[in-house]
Amino acid sequence: MTMATITLPDILAVAWFVGAWLIYSIVIEKTAKGKTSLNSLMNGYRDDWMERLVARDMRMVDAQVTAALQSGTAFFASTSLIAIGGALTLMRASDDILPVISLFGQGALPSRQLWEVKMLGLIVIFIYAFFKFAWAYRLFNYFAIMVGAAPPLEERDTPAARAFVQRAAHVCTDAGRHFNRGQRAFFFSLGYLGWLLGPLPLVLTTTGVVIVMWRRQFSSESRRAFD
């Protein structure tokens, strides 16, 4: 059986993957279209949340919501580490896995070097996701401290309270942005798995991931709830 090495179709497919990720991220975060996405619409609710927090005397609900944000982020951060370990295991077990992968491919047995390159790319994606989730968790921790230091109800109309609302909402929004980037990396990692079967599957799975994420941000039932 022939040994497959990296080819021009592989390079073009990876370029499609990277380009799709970058363009999607830019559209979501930097363009006018992105301001109508579900992610951006939720940022307005973060501002409203801080406005209402300083208007409440009892803030147990705010503490519970903050804890939920932290725990969810911690879950994804730990999952990223598990995924990194799994990818490293797949890299080391190439001699056992390559014959199985060839059964789903086009008959050519991938070379060990090509397999290691693919696994290295997957590891890089999960490392990126871990750093995004870890930083989001840290920001939510800072945000929790800010919630605990919120001005009391009787000071809600003071300049200090107004400054707190802006700062806290900004930190919460920034934490959400990094969390979204980490989740986006997870979604694109699913598309990246198509490369294990070849260049064309990588293009198809990447395109499928972009379509699914685009629909959820702009055409899902959740998004239509804001219209």
pLDDT, position 23? 97
Helices 112-148 & 159-192, crossing angle to 10 degrees?
160
This prediction's pTM: 0.90
H-helix or E-strand spanning residue 3:
strand 3-4
CA proximity to 28, closest of 43, 12, 49 = 43
Could you read off the pLDDT tens digit of each residue along the chain, which spans 227 residues? 444 577 888 999 999 999 999 999 999 999 999 999 999 999 989 999 999 999 988 889 999 999 999 999 999 999 999 999 999 988 877 666 766 666 665 545 567 788 888 999 999 999 999 999 999 999 999 999 999 999 999 998 899 999 999 999 999 999 999 999 999 999 999 999 998 888 999 999 999 999 999 999 999 999 999 88
pLDDT, position 27? 96
pLDDT, position 3? 47
Instruction: Name the residue type at position 178.
Output: H
The DSSP-derived string for 183-217 is HHHHHHHHHHGGGGT-HHHHHHHHHHHHHHHHHHH
